[in-house]
Each structure stands twice: as structure tokens, then as C-alpha cells.
Chain A
Amino acid sequence: MQILNLLLYLILFPLIAALFLLVERRDSGRTLIVQLSAIAIGIVSLVLLVLGFNRDTLLYAVGSEPVSQVMFIIEMVLAVFILYLGIRYRKSLTVVLILLQAGLLVWFETSLAGHLHIENNLFVDQFSIIMALIIGIIGTLICVYAVGYMETYHNRHKEIRDRRGIFFGILFIFLAAMFGLVFSNNLLWVFFFWEITTICSFLLIGYSETEEATNNSFLALSMNLLGGVAFMASIIYLAIADPSGNLLDLNYLLTTGKAIALVPAVLICFAGITKAALMPFSSWLVGAMVAPTPVSALLHSSTMVKAGVYIIVRFAPVLSGTTEGLMIALVGGLTFALASFIAISQNNAKKVLAYSTIANLGLIVACAGVGTYNLMWVAILLIIFHAIAKSLLFLCVGTVENRIGSRNIEDMGGLIVRMPKIAIMMFIGMAGMFLAPFGMVISKWAAIEAFITAPFGLIFIAILAFGGSATVFFWSKWMGKIISVMRDQTVIEDTVKKEKWAVLYILTGLVVVICLIFPLISSILIEPFVLHIYGQTAGLSQANLTIMLMMLCLLMIMPFSMLFYGKGAKPPALPYMGGRPMNDSMHFAGSIGISREVVLSNYYLEKMFGEERLFMTGASLCWALLLIAGILLLGVIL
């Protein structure tokens, strides 16, 4: 009972906070509410970890009838709201999709829902706890950061209507919906929270009310509604298959109902693919970068896309060994490789981050689609590592953007001099994304070892080998940009607010600490979960873990070597400029007596890794794969 209260608290408390935030007009009040709620939510998710990590799956009966009624009403109200907006902005696709979805829902409620009775509506297991920690710690940290960010944002952008009350309200509703999603055992409830996250992200992406923002928010909405329709279809399929509603019990469906679960699993995975922004739906996440940066951070790290991969990983045991699962895995694999390639050609920092997110989500789905026990282990590990490093990177980029007024990587030259602390944190975040012995490389490594024994694993190893090397390229050249030392620069990071620093420090600390303690997380959370499902579990060998730890320590000691070099050193020399006379401010004597400044730009290899061409390739291939999966599915149904 105690744990049930925690679950209810985590779902409902952010809602209450949201209500207060919606009405609070003063900055100071808002700051206080956000900080206190963040602490409250963070602590409770930790308590959940302490109380729940060593239990089996716990199921909880919650009065389903009244709650389901309320959910239905809310969904209808939201449908009308979307319909209104769709008509107002003349978005015919959105209108069609919302009508379709609402129609399905109404038909379901009137003709099927009557007989359904689902006893256990909430549940919690180790995977839910992991997700809850990500949402409860990283999600709320981003909210705390957002308070300071939005103040600067509105100071810089006077033309944008200040609707911060609504903004923060939606952020917390978003968190509540995410908690609901990972704790719901009733698929109808999952669907309800699923739709709430869709609508929250729609509202947040369109926050600035510019034309671009509005268009991109509708793009995100349409794609996610399409996924919602597929989700609804799978619920209807299950309700028809068993009118008593037993199959809508997620835990029951995954443990005893595997035979019938394939069709709904693929439909829900389709929904997951739209939400996780894999190709061909990646454009909505790329477009979502018009939103204020904390929103991007939230969408990319702890909410929204993580909901997509969460549900796919849940269904991984069903997909394991099926052709449909292989198709979904291939969609993920292709997305990983192509999104990594595209990231090479981008100079917009947020776009690079977006493509990197898409790539990593692709990798998670590839693991889940193949769905063997060790790949499930890798997928969950990836979710954790990615959430931390990516949120840090987004918040750093947001801070930089607020200072230098640009999100172009080319403008970040010499950041190590201008904003040393931010630059070092970005550096650590990026290292977390692609360098040994940090998180993502650990996962990549484990993925190679896991794919090698999986069916058709060689395809995925090839994808990892090529796509992985592309990630090395785009991260390193960005790193190189921020650490290149330009002279005569002034420090401009003094004005960054205290609470922003606090959030950034905590996240940076997490990136490093998580590498030290991931064996612990693996053994108390991931391994029991995987063991429970598959009867066997994976992990890295002890010898390798020791070596990784030694490497990490070495990496942390290395910077201290600078202390020795600092003493008695001669003043730095000027960089080699082919013998031309030059001065400290990087101006050199050009021809006919003109003084020119040195300007260096990174390689973007547009011709080889151009976005348009690669996206078209990826989208068409992934559509083809999804089509094959669809045809196979039809075969199963008929």
C-alpha cells in the first residue's frame, strides 16, 4: 500500500503543482513553486527506488470505473480543443486524424468498453522505477533550469507573448503524464497518458506563436496522432479478442498473452516509432527545436521520446524472434546510421543534438526490436545514459545561446575562453555521448557483444560500426570548436544565474557518477528486470568493468597534469600561420598590406552527408520496412 501511495503521489503531485503554476503570476512565487516541487518529486522518486527496487512486479487495484470515465471526458474535451485549433489554423491532416481517433474512442466506449473490467490499473517494476527516476530527477532539474532560462528568453524576445504561467503548468502536467504512463498497467490508461504527452509537447513546441513554431507544433501533433490512431487500433483489437478485457492488462498481456500480443505489439511499436521520432517521422523532433531550449531538453531526455522507446522496450519480449520485430529493429538501425550521418552536415547546435537523439533512439529500438535478453539490457542502459548526457548538452547549449545569441556551432569557437565552465561541462557531456569509458560507449560495446549472438545480428553490427564512427566525427569536431583557444576574448558567463549553475553542476556530476555506479544500477535494477522476463540476464564481465573504472579514473586525473605545465612556462607562442606576421588578436598581414583575421570553419561534408538526400533515403526505406511489417501483420490477422 505504501508504494501505491508513492505512485499516486508521483502522478498527482505534479498536477497540483501545475495548477498553482497556472495561476501564479509573480516570478518569485513561480520560482519557489518549481523548486519546491522539483525537490519533492525528486525525493519521492528516490524513496520509490529505495522501497521498490527489490520487489517483483507489484500490481495495484485502483477504482477504475470513475477514473476511466474522467479520462474519457478529458480526452473528448482535448479532442474538441485540437479540432478547434486544427480548423482555426487550417490543418486538414490534424483535423482528419483527431476526428478518426476521437471516433474510434467514442465507438470503443459505447460498444466495447461496457464489458471490460480491469482489476489492476497501476503497476511498478524495476523498469518503471528507472523511468520514474529519469523523469523525477532529470525532468524536474530541467524545470528548475527553465525558470531562469525563460526569464532571459522573454527579456531577449520582447515580441513573444509572456505566457510563462501556462508554460510551467504544462511542463508539470507533462511530468505527471509521464509518471502515469510508466506506472499504468491498464493499456487504456497508458493510451490516455500517451495522448496527454502528445498534446503537452504540441503546446510547448508552439509556445512562441511564430508561424514556424505553429507549423512545427502541428507537424509534431499530426505525426503523434497517427501513432495514437495505431495505439487505439491495438486496444480495439485486444478488446475484441477478449471481451472481458483481461488482455488490456499490460502485465497479463506480456506474461501470459504472448501468442495474441504480436499484432497489438506491432501497432503500439508503430505508435512508439512516431513518438520516438524515428525515420520516417524524425522531422517532428528536428522541427521541435524552435521551442525554448528547456522544452527541447525535456522532450529529448526524460519525456516524450523516452515514452516512445519505453513502450517499445516493454514489448521487446513479444517482438523477439519475429519478422515484424526484425522490421522494427531495422527501422531503428537505419535511423541510427542515417541520423548519425546527417548530424555531420549540420552546424546548428540544436539540430546536431536532435539528430544525435534520433540516432540513439534508433539504436534503442534496434535493440528492443531484436529483443534478446542481453539487448534488452543494453536498451535500458542506453535510455539511462542518453537521458543524462543529452539533458546536460541541451541546457549547456541553451545557456550559450542566451549569452552569445547564436546556436550555430561556428559561433562557439573559443568557448573555453569565453565561458570556461560551460565549455568544460559541454565537453564532459559530449564525452558522455561518444568517448570511452563513458556511458554511450559502454552501451555501444555491450550492443556489439549482444548483437553478435542475435539472429541477423551482423546487419546491426555493420550499422553500429559505420554509424558509430560518424558519431565520433561530429562530436569531435564540435569539441574541437569549443576548445580552440582564441585570444583577446572576455569571460561572459558571470551573468548566468545561480540555480542554472546548480542544475548544470548536478547533471555534469551525474554524467560522470553514472559511469562509476552503473554496475550497481545494472545489478539492482536492470538485471533483476531482465531476469524476471527472460529467465537469464546480461552484464559486462568483472575484468572489463575494472579496466573501465581504471580508465575513468585516469581520465579524471589527467587534467591535473596541467598544474605542472603552468609553472615557469614561457608565454604562449603564436599559432603557425605560414610565416606571415601576425598579432595576438589573430590578425595576420595579408597581401597588399591588408590585415585579415584568421577565421576557421569545420568540415560539414554537405555533398556526402547532406540532410535532404539522406533523409529521403531513410524515410523511404523505413516506410518500406513499416509497410512490410504491416503486410505481415495483415497476414496474421486474417
Chain B
Amino acid sequence: MIPEPFAPVFYALVYILVAPIFGGLIAGIDRKVTARMQGRVGPPILQPFYDVGKLFEKENPVVTVTQNFYVLSYVVFMVVAGALFFSGGDMLLVIFAFTLSHIFIVLGAYASYSPYSHVGAERELLQIIAYEPMIILTAVGMYMVTKSFFVSTIVASQVPIILYLPGVFVGYLIVLTIKLRKSPFDLSTSHHAHQEIVKGVTTDFAGPNLGKIEIAHWYEYVFLLGVIWLFFAWNPLIAVVAILVAYFLEILIDNTMARVKWQLMLRSAWIIAGTLGLVNLGVLYYLGMVVVP
């Protein structure tokens, strides 16, 4: 195997190289399944790669040069967050890097001063504050079970975390809908072609910049699904099944729900974090669970 001190670097590198491939495939499968649900044939599985490839061949029109900087920072910090996660780093640090990366895409949208990207940016911020508490509570829940914030320890734990954190898991799945930009929570920008604010945050990005945003999404998919893995880390087989089921559910929800207003999104996300998440943690806390991995 890999010598101990290099393992984190190795895993980080693997993530950086392999995640976009996985992420792109997930996006492709997503589009295919969605198409089938809608009674269409759908594009080839590799279509996302063709799309991004084509985007990079185009010219790069910008409203202001600073947009390039924001997009690049978005990608870079998304990769940093994911790499930290897969190298076994501190969950909280991962979450903060993840937030930082999203702030950059929001700033990029604000910078252009188009009404569509502006509304998209405001909504993206609302989405961030909607999901962030639940994600932090997820990390805290993992800590309560495994006594560590480090992904390396959590993933090595032989405890079936899901049994201790069922509420947190459901809460995480619900905010995952926000994160994956799925209906009913695809407010800031949508993969579907029926958004009232054109393309929301990404309205004023085109060509290579848009391609970079797509690649960042691929990295993001892999990271977000990696968190699901943690709940089932004691048994890889179940973990894979859980990820597949969870993602299928997300697609199903996406295709059966109508987009909601931001008020409902924020309230429901916070209520879920406040009930499912906090009650679950409260019970654990109360019982003083000491589970030694």
C-alpha cells in the first residue's frame, strides 16, 4: 500500500484526477434517466463531456475581466474542498472551503450587474444559508458518533453511523436537493430549460468560463455523494447501494416536483435542520453516546 504520510496526498490527487470523470458520468446518467422519466430517448451518457469540450473551444466573452478570477477561484476552492475531504481532512474545514468556493461564484454573478445574474446571486446566497446549518449539523453528528471531525477517522470507523444518525441522514438528503440544483429547490440556476431568470447565476458566463463551472459541478457531485458514503462507511457495498438509491431519489424528486419560492425553501430547509437534525443530535447528546470506533 501507500506509505502512511503520503496517503492523504495520494487520495487528494486521485480525487483531483478521477472526480471529474465520475462527476461527468453522473451528470450524463442523470440526464439519461431524467429523459426516460419524461418519455424521451435522452442524450448519450457521455454528452456532458462533449458539451464541456465544446464550451472550451468557444471564445470567452465577459462583462468584466474580474469574472474570470471569480470563476477560477470557484473551481479551485471546490477542488480544494473535495481534495481535503478525500484526503481525510477535517470536516469543518471542508465545509468552510466549500462555502468559500460558492461565495466566489456568487460574487462572479454579482459582478456582471445583469438583473438575471443578480437575482440568481441573491437566490444562490439564500440556498447557501438554507443548506449550511444542516451540513454543519451533519459534521457534528459524525463527531458525536466517532469522536472525530476527521474524515479519515470517520471513514475508518466500524460503527454503522447511519443507525445513530437517521434524522441527520434524511436532513442531509433534503439539503442535497438544494445542492444538486434539483427541483423543487433549483432556484438560483436550473439544469432544466424553464427558468424564469434565464440561467440565474450563470447567465453572464459563457464559453470556457461556463465549462469551468460545469467541471466544478462534477467535482461537487463526487464530494456530496462522498458524504453519503460516510454514513455507511462500515460496509462499502451498502454505501454504494445507498448512494445509487439516494441519487435516483433526487432525480425522481427533480422530475415530479415544481419549483418553490425561496421563502418555502429557506423555511423548510431550516425546519428540517432544526427538527430532524437537531432532535437526532439531541437524543444522541442526551444519551451521552460513547461509541468507540
- Taking Cβ atoms with an 8 Å cutoff, the residues of A that contact B are 414, 416, 435-437, 441, 445, 448-449, 452, 458, 461-462, 464-466, 468-470, 472-473, 476-477, 479-481, 483-486, 541, 543-544, 547-548, 551, 554-555, 558-559, 561-562, 565-566, 569-570, 572-578, 586, 598, 600, 602-603, 608
* A464 to B137 Cα, complex, angstroms: 10
CB distance from A415 to the nearest CB of B (A): 12
Q: Can you report 27 A-B residue pairs in the complex whose CB atoms are below 8 A from each other?
A: A435-B99, A435-B103, A437-B96, A445-B92, A445-B93, A449-B92, A449-B149, A452-B144, A461-B140, A462-B137, A464-B136, A465-B273, A472-B125, A480-B106, A480-B121, A481-B110, A484-B113, A485-B63, A485-B66, A544-B89, A558-B73, A561-B68, A566-B65, A570-B59, A572-B62, A586-B113, A600-B118
* A472 to B106 Cα, complex, angstroms: 12
Count the B residues whose beta carbon is within 8 Å of the partner chain — how many?
Answer: 63
* A477 to B84 Cα, complex, angstroms: 27
| Smallest Cβ-Cβ distance to B129: which chain A residue | A469
Judging by beta carbons under 8 Å apart, are A561 and B69 in contact? yes
Judging by beta carbons under 8 Å apart, are B68 and A473 in contact? no
Within 8 A of A (CB), among B19-39: none
What per-residue 1/0 map shows which CB atoms of B72-85 lie under 8 Å from chain A? 11001100100010
Cβ-Cβ contact count across A and B, 8 Å cutoff: 177
CB distance from A373 to the nearest CB of B (A): 18
* A472 to B61 Cα, complex, angstroms: 30
CB distance from B113 to the nearest CB of A (A): 5
- Taking Cβ atoms with an 8 Å cutoff, the residues of B that contact A are 59, 61-66, 68-69, 72-73, 76-77, 80, 84, 89-90, 92-93, 96-97, 99-100, 103, 106-107, 109-118, 121-122, 125-126, 128-130, 132-133, 136-137, 140, 143-144, 149, 198, 203-204, 263, 266, 270, 273-274, 278, 281-282, 285
Judging by beta carbons under 8 Å apart, are B65 and A562 in contact? yes
* A477 to B66 Cα, complex, angstroms: 17
Q: A470-B129, A480-B107, A576-B198 are in contact. Are A448 and B92 (CB under 8 A)?
A: yes
CB distance from B196 to the nearest CB of A (A): 11
Interface centre among A416, A469, A600 (most CB of B within 10 A): A469
Judging by beta carbons under 8 Å apart, are B110 and A484 in contact? yes
* A573 to B60 Cα, complex, angstroms: 10
Chain B residues closer than 8 Å to A565, beta-carbon distance: 62, 65, 68-69
Judging by beta carbons under 8 Å apart, are B61 and A562 in contact? no
Judging by beta carbons under 8 Å apart, are A477 and B122 in contact? yes
Chain B residues closer than 8 Å to A485, beta-carbon distance: 63-64, 66, 111-113
Judging by beta carbons under 8 Å apart, are A574 and B137 in contact? no
| Smallest Cβ-Cβ distance to A448: which chain B residue | B92
Judging by beta carbons under 8 Å apart, are A577 and B126 in contact? no
CB distance from B115 to the nearest CB of A (A): 6
Select A468's contact among B62, B90, B132, beta carbons within 8 Å. B132
Beyond known contacts A466-B133, A483-B110: 10 more, CB 8 A cutoff? A448-B140, A472-B99, A473-B125, A479-B110, A483-B66, A547-B84, A551-B80, A551-B97, A562-B68, A576-B116
| Smallest Cβ-Cβ distance to B135: which chain A residue | A465
Select A608's contact among B93, B110, B203, B263, beta carbons within 8 Å. B263
Chain A residues closer than 8 Å to B96, beta-carbon distance: 436-437, 441, 445
Judging by beta carbons under 8 Å apart, are A544 and B93 in contact? yes
Q: A449-B92, A469-B133, A483-B110 are in contact. Are A575 and B63 (CB under 8 A)?
A: yes
Chain B residues closer than 8 Å to A603, beta-carbon distance: 122, 125-126
CB distance from A585 to the nearest CB of B (A): 12
Chain B residues closer than 8 Å to A466, beta-carbon distance: 133, 270, 273-274
CB distance from B33 to the nearest CB of A (A): 31
Judging by beta carbons under 8 Å apart, are B76 and A600 in contact? no
Chain B residues closer than 8 Å to A573, beta-carbon distance: 61-63
CB distance from B210 to the nearest CB of A (A): 13
* A45 to B86 Cα, complex, angstroms: 45
CB distance from B290 to the nearest CB of A (A): 12
Judging by beta carbons under 8 Å apart, are B63 and A572 in contact? yes
Q: A465-B136, A466-B133, A565-B69 are in contact. Are A472 and B103 (CB under 8 A)?
A: yes
Chain B residues closer than 8 Å to A481, beta-carbon distance: 110
* A436 to B100 Cα, complex, angstroms: 6
Interface centre among A436, A441, A483, A559 (most CB of B within 10 A): A436
Judging by beta carbons under 8 Å apart, are A602 and B122 in contact? yes
Chain A residues closer than 8 Å to B77, beta-carbon distance: 551, 554
Q: Is the interface of B mostly helix, strand, loop or mixed?
A: helix
Judging by beta carbons under 8 Å apart, are A575 and B112 in contact? yes
Chain B residues closer than 8 Å to A554, beta-carbon distance: 76-77, 80
Select A576's contact among B84, B114, B149, B278, beta carbons within 8 Å. B114
* A574 to B100 Cα, complex, angstroms: 27
Chain B residues closer than 8 Å to A416, beta-carbon distance: 66
CB distance from A476 to the nearest CB of B (A): 5
Judging by beta carbons under 8 Å apart, are B113 and A569 in contact? no
Chain A residues closer than 8 Å to B73, beta-carbon distance: 555, 558
Chain A residues closer than 8 Å to B117, beta-carbon distance: 575-576
* A465 to B144 Cα, complex, angstroms: 16
Judging by beta carbons under 8 Å apart, are B133 and A465 in contact? yes
* A276 to B170 Cα, complex, angstroms: 40
Judging by beta carbons under 8 Å apart, are B136 and A558 in contact? no
Select B204's contact among A461, A569, A576, beta carbons within 8 Å. A576
* A445 to B139 Cα, complex, angstroms: 12
CB distance from B14 to the nearest CB of A (A): 18
CB distance from A523 to the nearest CB of B (A): 20
CB distance from A579 to the nearest CB of B (A): 10
Chain B residues closer than 8 Å to A476, beta-carbon distance: 103, 106-107, 125, 128
Judging by beta carbons under 8 Å apart, are B128 and A473 in contact? yes
* A461 to B144 Cα, complex, angstroms: 12
Judging by beta carbons under 8 Å apart, are A473 and B107 in contact? no
Listed from nearest, the 5 A-B pairs whose CB atoms lie closest are A480-B110, A575-B114, A436-B96, A465-B133, A469-B129
Select B100's contact among A435, A486, A547, A566, beta carbons within 8 Å. A435
* A261 to B121 Cα, complex, angstroms: 52
CB distance from A87 to the nearest CB of B (A): 49
CB distance from B292 to the nearest CB of A (A): 16
| Smallest Cβ-Cβ distance to B97: which chain A residue | A436
CB distance from A460 to the nearest CB of B (A): 11
* A576 to B84 Cα, complex, angstroms: 36
* A470 to B133 Cα, complex, angstroms: 10
* A436 to B106 Cα, complex, angstroms: 16
Judging by beta carbons under 8 Å apart, are B92 and A577 in contact? no
Q: A565-B68, A573-B62 are in contact. Are A486 and B140 (CB under 8 A)?
A: no
Chain B residues closer than 8 Å to A462, beta-carbon distance: 133, 137, 274, 278
CB distance from A314 to the nearest CB of B (A): 29
| Smallest Cβ-Cβ distance to A574: which chain B residue | B63
* A558 to B99 Cα, complex, angstroms: 17
| Smallest Cβ-Cβ distance to B199: which chain A residue | A576
CB distance from B197 to the nearest CB of A (A): 10
Chain A residues closer than 8 Å to B122, beta-carbon distance: 477, 602-603
| Smallest Cβ-Cβ distance to A607: which chain B residue | B263
CB distance from A74 to the nearest CB of B (A): 48
* A452 to B91 Cα, complex, angstroms: 14
Judging by beta carbons under 8 Å apart, are A458 and B285 in contact? yes
Judging by beta carbons under 8 Å apart, are B100 and A558 in contact? no
Chain A residues closer than 8 Å to B84, beta-carbon distance: 547
CB distance from A499 to the nearest CB of B (A): 30
Judging by beta carbons under 8 Å apart, are B66 and A472 in contact? no
Chain A residues closer than 8 Å to B281, beta-carbon distance: 458
Judging by beta carbons under 8 Å apart, are B115 and A598 in contact? yes
| Smallest Cβ-Cβ distance to A575: which chain B residue | B114
* A572 to B209 Cα, complex, angstroms: 14
Chain B residues closer than 8 Å to A473, beta-carbon distance: 125-126, 128-129
Select A558's contact among B69, B89, B116, B285, beta carbons within 8 Å. B69
* A437 to B84 Cα, complex, angstroms: 14
Chain A residues closer than 8 Å to B282, beta-carbon distance: 458
| Smallest Cβ-Cβ distance to A565: which chain B residue | B68
Q: A441-B96, A547-B89, A565-B69 are in contact. Are A472 and B114 (CB under 8 A)?
A: no
CB distance from B52 to the nearest CB of A (A): 20
